[in-house]
Amino acid sequence: MASPLSDACFFFLIVNALRADSHKLLAETKDKACKNNRRIAKKSGAKYFGTFPLRDFIGLVSLTDIVVTQVTFALHVAIGLKKKVVLMNNIFNKNEYYFYGLEHKILEPEVPCKMCYKSKFDENCYVKNCMELIKVEDVFNAIEELSDKHG
């Protein structure tokens, strides 16, 4: 098995793949990751505006075509705004999501354990962070499948 990618490396690879295919990318994050995301955005060419008030965030999501996210507030905003969604999921039962008829893709790591609610990983975990097992190619392909030029 290949070693998992760091969050920064994963983001950088997906940005480069999308830019090569004429997509534009906007990054969103929590305050604590802001400095790291600015560095990644500068190297990758992604647009990153930092953090901002709720109304501005919702307005920004309204300008997107597809939202790629884990189970975050962005997921809920995207559904509310009727956006296409690529959801990277690991701890929740994918059959419990309701997308109100919206186009979406749910990507999950291939691990024997599903729907894990542990607050800390232990010796029974397959890997330390199973989200790292989601492949860049799978995210790229999901975005491509949902994009207007392919449907």
Q: Return the CATH number at 137.
A: 3.40.50.2000
State the Cα–Cα distance between residues 65 and 116, nearest whole angstrom. 31
Looking at residue 1, its pLDDT comes to 31
Asked whether residue 151 is assigned to any structural domain, the reply reads no
Greater confidence (40 vs 13) lies with 40
Q: How many C-alpha atoms does 22 have within 13 Å on its Cβ side? A: 3
Confidence of residue 22 (pLDDT cuts 50, 70, 90): low
Asked whether residue 1 is assigned to any structural domain, the reply reads no
Asked whether residue 2 is assigned to any structural domain, the reply reads no
Asked whether residue 44 is assigned to any structural domain, the reply reads yes
Asked whether residue 94 is assigned to any structural domain, the reply reads yes
| Residue 137 domain boundaries | 7-145
Looking at residue 2, its pLDDT comes to 37
Greater confidence (65 vs 101) lies with 101
Asked whether residue 37 is assigned to any structural domain, the reply reads yes
In Å, how far are 42, 87, 88, 112, 125 from 116, measured between CA atoms? 35, 17, 14, 11, 9
Please tell me the total count of domains within the chain: 1
Asked whether residue 86 is assigned to any structural domain, the reply reads yes
Please give the average per-residue pLDDT across 30-44, as a whole number: 68
- Do the Cβ atoms of 71 and 93 come closer than 8 Å? no
